[in-house]
Amino acid sequence: MARFILKRIGLALITLWILSVIIFFAAQVLPGDPARSILGPLAAPSAVHALDHQLGTDKPLIQQYTTWIGHTVTGNFGTSYQYQAPIGPLLGTALVNSLKLAALAFILVVPLGILGGILGALNYGKGIDRTISVFGLSAATISEVVWSTVLIVVFGIWLNILPIQASTPPGAGIGTQVYHLILPAIPLVLILFAYIQQMTRAGTVEALNSDYARTATLKGLPRGVMIRRHVLRNSLLPTITVIATQVGYLIGGLVIVEVIFHYNGIGTLLYNAANKKDIPMLEAGVLVIGVIYMVATLVADLLYSLLNPRIRYRGVE
């Protein structure tokens, strides 16, 4: 087991390194110089050269990359080109904001998803199961753009009961923050619902068909008790697995929701960094998301293998 985990960590490190190379060199195709994006399109070329020199962005690419990787492995993300400030705190704030939004979405979606899954399994193949499945899949693939605009129109404008911007004034209490995050969290809930619902449904179906369940039914154990005791326990773990696989999306893929609801999360940060050619910031953001993604996938696989001993030592991928 320990060897398996170590191997996984080793592979994850290699993947992260490949990711850093992809980003660093792909980012070179971004138009303009970092200095140009700081000084604006109308700045004099000599000023741009001077600033590029200060930032070190006029050095050979390989040298820039080795410098960057050198201090990154020691945990120092360096300085943002655009803000001329350490990346750590900037990234930290954005990450915390994204986590708040993700956490609220999870709190809402997990019970809904499990409930929907059990309901689907109990009515396997029937109309209600079909409806939940099609609704779930559609909810997941209808863009956040659509959900967000519909929610804003209905709750923000027609009913006027929920705020349509996620950011709160500095120093707002937790209640206010949650209140402002309700609308932006709903698109995420709708998108995640299908994953959890489908996993729970599959787990429940399997459990219902298991020997244990058959015996229990034969023994006359009430269905509700059986579901609570056995099925739920068995279907919770795959749910956690699926949550783990979605962490990457939840942390890095929220740019649309963040833009529409005006929220300073990590998606917006990446979007701005790429637009401003703030390569250290872009690298740091992508790597942090990469680490979260790898850790989440690893945890998911471990949980899955714990649950399913057959694949424990095979399931390297």
Partner 1 sequence: MATDHGRLDAIRGGRSELENHYIDELVAGRISRRQFMRKGAVIGMSTGLMGTILAACGGANNSSSSASSSGSASGTPVKGGTLKLASQAPAAAVNPLTVSDAGGLCMLAQTGEFLTFDNNMALQLQPMLATSWSPSKNGSVWTFKLRPNVKFHNGQPLTADDVVYTFQQLSDPKNASNALSTFTGVLTPSGVQKVDSSTVAFHLEAPNGNFPYIISSDNYNAIIVPKGTDFSKWQSTFIGTGPFKLQSYSQNQSATFVPNASYWGGAPHLSSTEFTFYSAQQPQILALQGGQVDAIVQFVPQGASSILNSSSYNIIKLKSANHRELSMRNDKAPFTDARVRQAIALSLNRPAMVQALLAGDGEVGNDSPFAPKFPSTDTSIAQRAQDIAKAKQLLSAAGHPNGFSTELFTEQYEEIPAMATVIQQAAKAIGINIKLNVETQSNYYGKSTYGNSDWLDGIMSLVDYGDRGVPNVFLESPLTSTGPWNAARFKNSQYDSLVKQYVAAVDLQTQKTLAGKIETLLLNETPIVIPYFIDGLTATTPSVKGVNPTSLSAIFLKDAYKSA
Partner 2 sequence: MSIGTVPVESAAAIGAGQAEVRRREFLQDLVRQKSFYAGVVLLGFWILAAIFGSLVVKDPYAQNLLSINQAPSGAHWFGTDQLGRDMFARVITGSRDILITTVLATLLGTVMGTILGLFMGYWRGAVDDVLGRIVEAFLALPLVVTGILGVVALGASNTTLIIIIAIVFTPLIARTVRAAVLVERDLDYVAAARLRGESSLYIMFAEILPNITAPIVVEFTVRLGYAIFTIVALSFLGFGIQPPSSDWGLDISNNYGQLGAGYWWEVLFDALAIATLVVGVNMLSTSIESALEG
Query: Cβ–Cβ contacts within 10 Å for residue 121, how many?
Result: 23
Residue 301 interacts with, from partner 1, partner 2, none (CB under 5-8 Å by kind): none
Residue that the structure tokens 């703030």 belong to: 278
Residue 24 interacts with, from partner 1, partner 2, none (CB under 5-8 Å by kind): none
Q: Find the angle CA(16)-CA(24)-CA(101) to the nearest 5 degrees.
A: 60
Binding mask of the shown chain, residues 84 to 123, with x at each position contacting partner 1 by CB under 8 A: xx----x--x------------------------------
At closest approach, how far in Å is the CB of 165 from partner 1? Answer: 4
Residue 219 interacts with, from partner 1, partner 2, none (CB under 5-8 Å by kind): none
Select 87 or 207, whichever has its Cβ closest to partner 1: 87
Per-residue exposure over 19-35, b if at least 16 CB sit within 10 Å of its own CB, e if not: bbeebbeebeebeebbb
Residue 221 interacts with, from partner 2, partner 1, none (CB under 5-8 Å by kind): none
At closest approach, how far in Å is the CB of 105 from partner 1? Answer: 21
Contact of 101 with 188, CB cutoff 8 Å: yes
Tokens matching residue 203? 């787990």
Contact of 184 with 263, CB cutoff 8 Å: yes
Using CB under 8 A as the binding rule, the residues of this chain from 259 to 298 that contact partner 2 are 259-260, 267, 270-271, 274-275, 282, 286, 289-290, 293-294
130 touching partner 1, by CB under 8 A:
no
Span of 106-114, 126-134, 268-276, 304-312 interacting with partner 1 by CB under 8 A: 268-276
How many residues bind partner 1, per CB under 8 A? 41
Select 37 or 239, whichever has its Cβ closest to partner 1: 37
3-state SS of 5-53?
A: HHHHHHHHHHHHHHHHHHHHHHHHHCCCCHHHHHHCCCCCHHHHHHHHH
- What are the residues facing 108 on neighbouring strands? none
Tokens matching residue 287? 């790597």
Binding mask of the shown chain, residues 293 to 312, with x at each position contacting partner 2 by CB under 8 A: xx------------------
Instruction: For residue 228, give every residue at least 6 positions away whose Cβ sits within 8 Å of its Cβ, in sequence order, or none.
Output: none
Tokens matching residue 311? 């694949």
At closest approach, how far in Å is the CB of 147 from partner 1? Answer: 18
- Residue 86 sits at φ, ψ, to 5 deg, of -55, 140
Residue 143 interacts with, from partner 1, partner 2, none (CB under 5-8 Å by kind): partner 2
Cα-trace Rg, the chain: 24
Q: Which of 60, 125, 127, 170 binds partner 1 (CB under 8 A)?
A: 170
Q: Is 10 left (phi over 0), alpha (psi -120 to 50) or beta?
A: alpha
Contact of 108 with 185, CB cutoff 8 Å: yes
Residue 61 interacts with, from partner 2, partner 1, none (CB under 5-8 Å by kind): none
User: Three-class SS of residue 173?
Assistant: coil
User: Three-class SS of residue 161?
Assistant: coil
Binding residues for partner 2, rule: CB under 8 A, are 11, 14-16, 18-19, 22-23, 26-27, 29-31, 130, 133-134, 137-138, 140-146, 149-150, 152-153, 156-158, 164, 194-195, 245, 248-249, 252-253, 255-256, 259-260, 267, 270-271, 274-275, 282, 286, 289-290, 293-294, 317
Binding residues for partner 1, rule: CB under 8 A, are 30-33, 35-48, 50-51, 54, 82-85, 90, 93, 163-165, 167, 169-170, 259, 262, 264, 268, 272, 275-277
